[in-house]
Amino acid sequence: MRHKYAVFPGLVQSSYDGQIHQISAEALMRLYKVNPSDCFIVTKQAKMTVEKSWLDSLIHLHPRFDGDYTLPGK
């Protein structure tokens, strides 16, 4: 299986309501409209076990302050 995306779940402050929201990996995959089978979910533990160069080769998907979940490069 070849991963295309590195999904970084985490906290984001909304530009709309100013509140802090926890965005799960599942929510990010849904927001970015990507297939979960194409994704590697990056956790603290995963960061310590995978090669940085491999992780850097993937398209990084993070929670967005502005709510724009368009895929990078589109």
pTM of the complete model: 0.89
| Structure confidence at residue 49 (pLDDT) | 86
Q: Which amino acid is at 46?
A: A
pLDDT computed for residue 59 by the predictor = 96
3-60: pLDDT as tens digits? 999 999 999 998 878 889 999 999 999 999 999 999 999 998 888 888 989 999 999 9
Residues 67, 14 contacting (CB under 8 angstroms)? yes
